[in-house]
Structure 1
Amino acid sequence: MEDTDPELYREAFRSADIPMLIADTNFAFRDINDAGLDFLGYEFDDIIGESVGLIAADEEVYYEIVEQMISGETWSGEFMARRKDQQVVYGQGFATPMVVSGDVEGILAFFVDTTKQRHYENASEVLNRLLRHDLRNELNVIYGYTQQVASRLDDEKALEELELVQEKVLDIVHKSERARDLREHLERSHDVSNHPVKLDVVLNNKIVDTMIEFPDAEFEFGPFPQVEVIADDLLGEAIECVLENAVTHNDKETPQVEISVKRDGGHVIVRIADNGPGVPEEQRDLIFGREEYDQLHHGTGISLFFADNVISSYNGTIWVEDNDDEGAVFCIRLQEPTAID
């Protein structure tokens, strides 16, 4: 193979569909393929000549790689990279010195994106812990109520407390079923790659499902633009979680939900507005479970936590705004396929 055209190797490097880079012995970028530029969000001229440390989100691992390269040894393991937009992405990395005539002339590194897998594994783990935590607390409440009922069976208030017991039991059943369903969806989609999804079809299907589930609520929506977004099979479940939240946490006799879609420079924004009590600004991270775990049970619950993690796995975002009249607007921003070509 000594007479193989070097251009063949260069073309293989450039066209590989996994992120790859070449650095010099000072650990500065000398080349990076298209997959690497897409993964990190940089233009070629912006990153060439910069230190590889620019993309390292974990200094300890970065220095471990440097030491291995200086020693002439290969390295492999988990690697956290920081994109140009400061988002941290996760990968399984490999780096090796490039030796020419006995001398180290540079470094070759590549990594496999495991960000989505990491999101789903974290979400699945927290869903399990959250479910166990809520079950334990609410079973304790049930136990307390039943003790009170047993101690005064002739008390008229006993019937009221018994009704509270029944409500708590139903709440536990609902949470158990919801957590189980969401975890099953996560596990089924674990290895599914993000791909173009018809947003209008997903929205129409999930709005109909929610209307059937909540016949007393009013839903307002018009024809949606026929647009595709980067997502996977979990998009519908995430949107359904937000639609359900707009009804179940609504304090009006007739919950009203308005759904709209607009395109915004390579992105699509879904707006789900309700006439409920709204969300105070200081609670807007809490309801998505973005605080530490020991505070999660003070938030809305598992559905918005699930939606947040799924949308994040598409490099999308979800947030809450005040509605103009009353209530809240949940906004979901997703990428169009053309935005990442």
Structure 2
Amino acid sequence: MALIYAAFGFLWVATSDSLVEGLPNHELIQTAKGWLFVGLSALLVYALVNRSQSKLNRTSEQLESTLAHTSVLHRILRHDIRNACTAILGYAELVESKGDAGSNIDPVQAIQERANRLVEVSDEVALLRTVELAEGNEVDVDLSCAVADAVEDLEMEYPEVQVSVASPETLVVRAHPALPRSLAELLDNAVVHADCDEPEVHVGVWKLGEVAGVTVTDNGPGIPDAERDALLSGSETPLSHTSGVGLWLVRAIVDASGGSLDISKPKAHGTVVTVSLPRTAS
């Protein structure tokens, strides 16, 4: 910034003096030239400082996002992966002496489930890092199409789920390429945490002025207040943290898309998650 200002001052002095030297009212013009230099210098300094401030703000936001993701990853390593590994080791001991296992426990199946969960966590963590690195590379995403695909996959994996969808034929937004994954994660989360035999999920795709979004409503037990506070604040603490990485992945993708995430509990049962995004200019 200092070099730009120095170059501007040198060019001004070198060119302006030679231009006004032979003009009448030389002293008056020199005074006016001085005031003009002050005005232009002030504008230049303002522009340079504003540019530096904007860059500093972006860097601060990226740092906060990185710190939040680091906190999540630390919790995953400390809690999720450690617990899964402990369970695998415990069930492996039961396989060695299957007669000691309870009649309702299949150690091999239990080991497979925990191992699959470790693979899922690993994939989610890898995607969380990818989202951070690819932030700013937005593409056109059709929300209606993304929701339709996510619902189709959900119904194939969970035939017992009842899903209703209200959506326009097409609704395009400018978002991170992984946005469809975040919508699928929201639907999957609504079913996985359901506490009834026939979970119900309603998905609404909507637009309001220059904002578009997706709202997912379920009839489950509702997200705990501690998890909701952690997700909305963007940071975890020992008393306020999430139980998995899925919703953190959703938040990271939504943030990278320039959107916002809202979570509410409108009644004793159920959760409403709303993803709001800027619409693509027509």
TM-score normalized by structure 1?
0.58
Q: How do residues 273-312 of structure 1 correspond to structure 2 at under 5 angstroms? A: 273-286=217-230, 290-292=234-236, 298-312=241-255
The equivalent position to 1:179 in structure 2, one of 96, 119, 125, is: 125
1:149-188 equivalences in 2 (<5 Å): 149=94, 154-157=99-102, 160=105, 162=107, 164-180=110-126, 182-183=127-128, 186=131
Percent identical residues = 22
Task: Count the aligned residue pairs.
Answer: 244
Alpha-carbon spacing, 1:158–1:312, altered in 2? closer, same or farther (3 Å): same
Match of 1:101 in 2: 13
Q: Determine the C-alpha separation between the residues in 2 that align with 1:152 and 1:287.
A: 43
Q: Which amino acid in the other structure matches residue 142 of structure 1?
A: I
1:203 matched to 2:147: yes
In the aligned structure 2, how far is the partner of 1:186 from the partner of 1:316? 14
SS at match of 2:254: helix
- Greater alpha carbon shift after TM alignment, 280-289 vs 200-209: 280-289
Q: Tell me how far apart the structure 2 counterparts of residues 299 and 191 of structure 1 sit (CA, whole Å).
A: 23
Task: Tell me the CA shift for residue 333 of structure 1.
Answer: 1.0
Q: For 2:99 and 2:139, how far apart are their aligned partners in 1?
A: 62
- Larger relative CO (CA 8 A, sep 6+): 1 or 2? 2
Select between 97-106 and 278-287 the one with higher mean Cα deviation.
Answer: 97-106
Question: In the alignment, what sits opposite 2:171?
Answer: 227
Q: Deviations over 1:259-294 (max 9, x none)?
A: 012222321231101111112434312357833366
Q: What is the aligned counterpart of 1:250 among 178, 186, 194?
A: 194
State the SS of the aligned residue for 2:195.
coil
SS at match of 2:252: helix
Q: 1:289 to 1:153 in 2, by over 3 A?
A: farther
- Distance in 2 (CA, whole Å) between partners of 1:261 and 1:210 is 17
Q: 3-state DSSP class of the match of 1:258?
A: strand
- Equivalent in 58, 75, 81 of residue 135 of structure 1: 81
Name the CA distance, whole Å, in 1 between partners of 2:175 and 2:191: 25
Partner of 2:32: none
Per residue, is there more helix in 1 or in 2? 2
Distance (whole Å) between structure 1 residues aligned to residue 227 and residue 67 of structure 2 = 22
Task: Report how far residue 304 of structure 1 moved.
Answer: 0.7
Task: Give the structure 2 partner of residue 32 of structure 1.
Answer: none
Q: From the superposition, tell whether residues 150 and 334 of structure 1 become closer, same or farther in structure 2 (CA, over 3 Å).
A: closer
Tell me if structure 2 keeps the 8 A contact 1:288–1:299: no
- The answer on whether the counterparts of 2:230 and 2:236 sit within 8 Å (CA) in structure 1 is no
Higher Rg of the two aligned structures: 2
- C-alpha distance in structure 1 between counterparts of 2:70 and 2:227, whole Å: 23
What's the offset of the Cα at 1:246? 0.7
1:135 is matched by which residue type in structure 2?
A: I
CA contact (8 A) 2:176 2:253 kept: no
Deviation at 1:128, TM superposition (A): 5.2
* 1:300 Cα offset (Å): 3.1
Distance 2:148 2:104 in 1: 43
Contact 1:320 / 1:329 at 8 angstroms: preserved in 2? yes
Question: Paired residue for 1:263?
Answer: 207
CA distance in 2, matches of 1:284, 1:137: 23
When the two chains are superposed, the root-mean-square deviation of aligned CA atoms in Å is: 3.8
Q: Distance in 1 between matches of 2:162 and 2:273?
A: 17
SS in 1 for 2:258: coil
TM-score between the two structures when normalised by the length of structure 2:
0.68
Unaligned runs of 5+ in 1: 1-68, 75-94
Whole-angstrom distance in 2 between the partners of 1:312 and 1:156: 46
Aligned-pair CA distance for 1:122: 6.0
Report the equivalent of 1:25. Answer: none
Question: Which runs of structure 1 show a deviation greater than 4 angstroms over 4 or more consecutive aligned residues?
Answer: 95-98, 111-131, 144-147, 150-154, 163-166, 293-296
Q: Is the 8 A contact 2:210 2:279 kept in 1?
A: yes
